[in-house]
């Protein structure tokens, strides 16, 4: 009776795995059969003379062993052979050379064999689970999914999907102002699946440009239907983004469609991205015009392109410079990312003012030469050019300390006040 219970408990174990794991029935039967064969092979050195039959409908299994009948004195391998006298106890008609097939009760192999089977089965199922998880999420790379926050660490968050699979959202892939508590739902894009040593790790992202693209596809039916195409995206997560769109139908205004009536469509995306400002612009293959649009809201006076080196010199009226650069240099940085051109901003100087202007090189006795060179490096080489430039532009573009810029402005200002 105990042996029968052992057999039943094996099937119960199999059923538990089947309930717990998301593996199809055919694969599960195959795994169970392989596990039995693995244990048999370990015990007897081979499993080739065994037939393993799994009956998932009945919830049981059968193991049959095939042995050749040999003369009693010729018996050398009891696993592959059966003596004539033993065979005739089963059926008196057996003769030498025939094959005897008899059922083997697995539980008779002992507790160690049963334990070995369970461990083998668990190991194979774990491998299958990993393969299944890897394949499932490899197909989902680039898709937006929702998952629940399970644990929060310093460098990453552990999330669980609907099936309890573990997903990771690293700090580097979170928007700086993201804040979540355990149990809350997070929306993110599947960025990649790492599979080191067959141990899949699903990495999510909320900072990827793909996440922004997918949100637009979800909010704007015309994009989803292929009437509007997203051509380029540039993002500084949580701060600002620029997205270039194009329509192949003249009747559709791509920018208007993306923004929606009174901003209805874009508001949801902005909220999801923690109030990230989003500029939607019309794409054009005319690079000069594209750069002008990318620098919006600044109005450009003229532009000079160096297509070979992908550089653009942009000239603006003094009051437009700060708009082109933007707060903290974000506008010009995003415009460069979107157009893939290095953009240098130049101020249009009043010709009458030029006569009274002084070249920076004249101030070498008061300002360090490396500071002058840094300022000249961003296209400003006169004193009034510096004084008319926004302070934050000098700090950001020339990569100077605030105190250094303030000293330069004080020295130059004093020169003209005299």
Domain 210-337 has CATH 3.30.300.20: yes
Instruction: List the pLDDT tens digit at each of the 418 positions of the chain.
Output: 344 544 545 556 556 555 555 667 777 788 888 888 988 998 888 999 999 988 776 667 888 999 999 999 999 999 899 999 999 998 899 999 999 998 888 878 888 888 888 888 888 888 888 888 999 999 999 999 999 999 999 999 999 999 899 999 999 999 999 999 999 999 999 999 999 888 999 999 999 999 999 999 999 999 999 999 999 999 999 999 999 999 988 899 999 999 999 999 999 999 999 999 999 999 999 999 999 999 999 999 999 999 999 999 999 888 888 889 888 889 999 999 999 999 988 877 655 444 577 888 889 889 999 999 998 888 788 888 888 887 888 888 888 899 999 999 999 888 877 5
Q: What is the CATH number of domain 141-207?
A: 2.40.50.140
Q: Which CATH number fits domain 349-417: 1.20.120.1200, 1.10.150.20, 3.40.50.720, 1.10.630.10?
A: 1.10.150.20
Task: Delimit the CATH 2.40.50.140 region(s) of the chain.
Answer: 141-207
DSSP codes, 35-100: HHHHHHHHHHS--TTEEEEEETTTTEEEEEEEEEEE-GGG---TTTEEEHHHHHHH-TT--TT-EE
User: Burial, 326: exposed, middle or buried (Cβ in 10 Å; 0-12, 13-18, 19+)?
Assistant: buried
| Separation CA 361–CA 359 (nearest Å) | 5
Domain 2-135, CATH class in plain words: alpha beta
Task: Say what the pTM is.
Answer: 0.70
Residue intervals of the chain classified under CATH 3.30.1480 are 2-135
Q: Which of 288, 295, 144 is nearest to 234 (CA)?
A: 295
CATH 3.30.300.20 domain residues, the chain? 210-337
């Amino acid at each position: 009776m105990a042996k029968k219970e052992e057999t039943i408990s094996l099937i119960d174990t199999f059923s538990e795995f089947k309930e717990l794991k998301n593996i199809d029935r055919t694969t599960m039967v195959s795994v169970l059969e392989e596990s039995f064969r693995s244990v048999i092979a370990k015990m007897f050195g081979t499993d080739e003379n065994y037939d393993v039959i799994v009956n998932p409908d009945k919830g049981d299994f059968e193991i049959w062993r095939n042995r050749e009948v040999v003369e009693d004195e010729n018996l050398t391998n009891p696993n592959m052979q059966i003596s004539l006298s033993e065979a005739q106890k089963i059926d008196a008609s057996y003769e030498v050379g025939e094959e005897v097939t008899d059922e083997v009760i697995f539980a008779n192999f002992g507790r160690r064999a049963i334990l070995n089977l369970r461990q083998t089965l668990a190991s194979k199922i774990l491998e299958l689970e990993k393969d299944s998880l890897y394949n499932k999420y490899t197909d989902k790379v680039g898709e937006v999914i929702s998952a629940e926050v399970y644990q929060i660490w310093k460098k990453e968050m552990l999330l669980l999907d609907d099936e309890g699979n573990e997903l990771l959202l690293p700090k580097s892939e979170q928007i700086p102002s993201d804040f979540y508590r355990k149990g809350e739902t997070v929306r993110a894009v599947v960025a990649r699946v790492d599979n080191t040593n067959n141990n899949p790790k699903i990495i999510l992202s909320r900072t990827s440009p793909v996440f922004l693209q997918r949100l637009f596809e979800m909010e704007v039916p015309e994009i989803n239907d292929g009437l509007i195409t997203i051509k380029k995206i540039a993002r500084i997560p949580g701060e600002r983004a620029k997205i270039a769109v194009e329509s192949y139908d003249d009747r559709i205004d791509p920018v208007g469609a993306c923004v929606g009536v009174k901003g209805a469509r874009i508001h949801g995306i902005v909220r999801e991205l923690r109030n990230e400002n989003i500029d939607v612009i019309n794409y054009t293959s005319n690079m000069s015009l594209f750069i002008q649009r990318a620098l919006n809201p600044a109005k450009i006076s003229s532009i000079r392109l160096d297509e070979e080196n992908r550089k653009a010199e942009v000239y603006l009226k003094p009051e437009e410079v700060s708009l082109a650069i933007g707060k903290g240099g974000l506008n010009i940085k995003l415009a460069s990312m979107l157009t893939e051109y290095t953009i240098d901003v130049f101020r249009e100087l009043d010709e009458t003012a030029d006569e009274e202007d002084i070249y920076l090189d004249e101030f070498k006795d008061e300002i360090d030469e490396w500071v002058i060179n840094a300022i000249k490096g961003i296209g400003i080489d006169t004193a009034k050019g510096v004084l008319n430039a926004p302070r934050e532009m000098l700090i950001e573009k020339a990569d100077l300390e605030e105190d250094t810029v303030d000293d330069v402005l004080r020295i130059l200002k004093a020169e003209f006040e005299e």
